[in-house]
Chains A and B, each alone.
Chain A
Amino acid sequence: MSAFSAINEEREIERDEFTPGIEPQATWCPGCGDFGVLKALKQAMPEVGKNPDEVALFTGIGCSGKLNSYFNSYGFHTIHGRSLPVARAAKLANPNLEVIAAGGDGDGYGIGGNHTIHTARENHDMTYIVFNNEIFGLTKGQTSPTSPKGHKSKTQPHGSAKSPIRPLSQQLNAGATYIARTAAVNPNQAKEIIAEAIEHDGFAHIDFLTQCPTWNKDAKHYVPYTDVQQSDEFDFDVSDRAEAAEMMRKTEERLYEGEVLTGRMYIEDERPSYGEEKRQIGEMPEEPLAERYFDEDAEWERTYDNLLEHHK
């Protein structure tokens, strides 16, 4: 019997269960795109049939890091840029958990870039939502890794000399197996993409455009948006790596030309997740490791019986 009865509990899930009732007032500014992520995430939960006690939401630092203050589940608000390594170990420790990580563009593409690349490379079965507002919001409007070239801010008074990072292309090269871009201004698409990402067996990366009306662009800058799956202009095979790469390049470039392209950019269903790979080579137990610590009948071998012979 599992020590974690919330996992795979058979019952109807209500969206409202994910509202904590402990933090009535979010600290986000009026009109902030972060509300859109929260709403879409809550809406996706009944669709994927997950309840608050089987979801573990790991966040970084920044406005986006507050997500799990306003989302009712197990939460771990970690440190700047490090949500992914904490999250993926929880998934290894208990693969039955629904693991979601979230953070901003500075968190995931700047300070935590190394982890973003390696977690995608390993293809952990989890969902990563990057709140991409093209700015550092909580520290009051500095240039971020996704700010356009020439972006002026207090820390880049002459305009940034750097080209922005290409988050979608980077994830494709790193090894993510589900890559999408959505936007806070399009809540229905966002909900669908989050639900798909959760159900995807592998590392799902969502670049989520969140307007920052206080320090950067407000919502009207992201309208109109185009869903590339529904547009005749973009006829590409989402499972074809080369075509996906081309689509991503266009999506990344056009954002800075004022055209908002969203939708599924790449989906690869064949590649096994990291947990499966590790079990395959005998480096991960079949049963979730976390269960053992609650199982009174579990046998714990000792080194005296197994390893000491070699030293005699």
Chain B
Amino acid sequence: MSIIGDDAPPHGIERLGSARLATERTLPLDPVLADLLGVDGLVRGHTVACRGPAAHSLAVVAAAAAVAMGSWVAVVGVDGLGVEAMADAGLPPERLIRIRVAGDGARSWADLCLAALDGFEVLITCPPARVPAPVATAIRRRLRARGGCLLVVGDPRGLETDVELLSDGPSWRGVGAGTGRLDGRRVEVRATGRRVHRGRAASLSLPGSDGRLHGPETHHPVPLLAAV
């Protein structure tokens, strides 16, 4: 029986830390978004800004496939993300953690982001009003070192982004003058940014009536677990 005293180095913890370093270059990504961005997946180390009226929904669907395949997602300083909408979009809420940020201090927000990036592969955040350049650099370094992905809801402020998903021109279906009910939204989404080479724009159903993202041709994505 080995008794590990106080002074013994925590081998296990160190080994795990390095073993966790990304073995693959990308995290799983919804095929509709992958198509829009002209990539295979969410590239580790990248910062993706989701903007416009569908910013929240975009961030959630961008994270959903990775979380469904086992990644954990931390939401730092974003108030009131609807958990049910996330679950409907295919993001399993059992691997979702939310961290409240006290005040507007860039420092505490940055410390929380850095700590979260150590253990979470996906981070969804709203940066504070001003992100000083050294903070932005520290976050970028940690993202690269840990192989995580940062999804920004709204204005990225001082953060350098690799990809931007811009939403515009939303129109809701199913609701009239006191009739029907909201039954899904069409929204124009354009992929841009310095790491986007074959990006394009498309009219997406986000959310569709089932709460999920559907592409321009409304091809229903293949469920992760098809019936036997």
Do A and B associate with each other?
no
